[in-house]
Every structure is written in structure tokens, then in C-alpha cells.
Structure 1
């Protein structure tokens, strides 16, 4: 059985997994379109720097109706692929109060680390730059959930292509 891959990214009100919340999630199942949902949240403990980085003020909209049921259904038994997917998993499992995905996940920039023999992991921006330098068409990450999903999927495919 081959599990589906869900390329996923979250935008949050900060980096503290206890105090902060997911306000936007985007994902694409395998080669499918990128889906973006906005989740209910509050700004009581939000980190202003995080909100500035992810463009919260310019992008926040209406909470997506049925967001929880949609995520539970769409992410059922998928393998999450992300940039630092452990963070996204922790934040999203708190929002959902569930973990419908498979227990293993894939960190796409870590694949670049192994491919290019880096001594330690780097972020999505470094991974995208390096793979672009190797001739791959990869959009640059933009700190939006959808934009970072597109970059993550392209980095993953580039690493897989070079490995093959």
C-alpha cells in the first residue's frame, strides 16, 4: 500500500506550541491543488513578530466553515511532508484535538541536507536556493501557508528526482 503524501504548512500566531495557535493551514495531496483554510484563533498571546512575518494583517480572512471535518477527512492516514513538519504536526494536532495522519513524516529540507552533505539541517529558503542553483524550478518560500506548500512540494520532487 502506498500512502498519499500531504504537502502541508501552517501559519501560526507564534512559535510556542502551548500558547500560540494555527490561524492558516494549506496542504496539497500528492499532485492535487493547494487547499488553504483559515482556522478559528485569538490573538490574546500572539507574538507580534510572528504575525508580521506571516503577513497576518494583510491576509487574515473569514474562518473556513467545516475546517475541522475537512482536515480530518483529507489528512486521514497521509504522510505529512513539510519544512519542519514536527512543528506543523504539533500545532495542528492541538487545533484538531486529533492526529489523523500517519505517524511518520518527511522533512523536505532535510532531504537536501543529505543530498548536498550539509552538516546540519537548514530551512526551506536555503533548500530552495540550493535546488534552484542545481537547475530545478522551485518557487521561493513566502511565509504564506500556500506559498510554502508549493516550495516544499517542489523541493521534495527535486530531491527525489536527483536521487533517482
Structure 2
């Protein structure tokens, strides 16, 4: 494998991360607009992109290892280390790939955290609403047919106080 192949893989990774960012923004839109019926679909689409990224990562690691060996680098170098050791124009290109990928990953983390907070906030609001709307239970009745645990009601119903 050569520099051109690795660069192509890095471009593909960039495209997939960009698509993942788009899907995360779609998810945020669905959460904010309350269109929750589509959340399982977007979750599936995100998982498909993540699977593609995992497969690409394996291929990229193999390509990086081969180039690193030719450049005299240790096993499993970072993209930054590869950029420092590669000849031009690849050094500059790898540096630009590194910066672009780092920016995308930072944006993804931020959006993912925001989405998680929205979902957790929504779940908490639902829980609070359910507690507020909770109807008191009828309770249990004694052998005489009076409601246990509610002596005031039982007494007033009998007309005695």
C-alpha cells in the first residue's frame, strides 16, 4: 500500500465522520421537535455509519502500518507522527487530514453530549409529569368494608367524628 491509498482512506473517513455529524444533527432535530417515532430509524442509520467507520479503521491501520515500516517508524504510529515522517507532499496532506479529522471528532463529541443531555432531560421531564399526574390509589379495605389507611374518610362517611 502506498501514500495515495492511505490518503484515499483518510478522505473516506472524513466523509463518514461528516455523514455521522449530519445524522447526529438530524437526531437533535428529531429530539427538539418531538418527532420521537423516527428516533429508532436514525439510531439505526447512525449504527450503520459507525460500522462502516470500524471497517475503514481496520483498513486504515493496515495501510498506516505498511507505510510506517517503510518510513522507519514504530508500529501503530499516530497520523501526526506519520505526517512528521512522510515526504512532501504527503506530509502536508496528512497534516491537513489530521486537523480536519480532529475538528470533526470534536464537533461530534460536542453534539453527542448535547443530544444525550436533551434525551436525559426529556426522560426526566416525562418522569416528573408521570409523578405529578399520578392518581392516588384507592388503598385497601378492612373486613368491615372501610378503607384502610384513610381513617378520616371512613369516619366522616359513617357520619361520626
Asked if these proteins are the same fold (TM beyond 0.5), I'd say no
Q: What is the TM-score when the length of structure 2 is the normalising length?
A: 0.32
| Structure richer in helix, relative to its length | 2
TM-score norm. by structure 1 comes to 0.32
